[in-house]
């Protein structure tokens, strides 16, 4: 699944969520950790990211 988020400087970024390992809150919003060890900070809130990744939402329930 592909999702678009916003970087702290306001630019959009597209992320392949299949590569995501885990995410956590940080000062600017959310820090995303990828399976290959990379990290990315986005300004979207932790709650917004969690809602997007909610398995029930992905199943269309």
Q: With a cut of 70, list the residues of the chain below it in pLDDT.
A: 55-61
- Domain residues for the domain of 20 are 2-58
The reported pLDDT for the residue numbered 54 is 76
The predicted structure's pLDDT at residue 11: 98
Which pLDDT value is given to residue 1? 84
The pLDDT assigned to 58 comes to 52
Domains in the chain, number = 1
For residue 28, what are the contacts with CB-CB under 8 A and spacing of at least 6?
8, 41, 42, 43
pLDDT tens readout for residues 11-26: 999 999 899 999 999 9
- Give the per-residue pLDDT at 48: 92
């Amino acid at each position: 699944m592909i999702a678009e988020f916003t970087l702290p400087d306001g630019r959009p970024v597209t992320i392949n969520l299949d590569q995501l390992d885990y995410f956590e809150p940080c000062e600017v919003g959310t820090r995303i950790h990828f399976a290959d060890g990379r990290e990315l900070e986005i300004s979207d809130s932790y709650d917004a990211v969690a809602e997007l990744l909610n398995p029930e939402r992905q199943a269309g329930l």
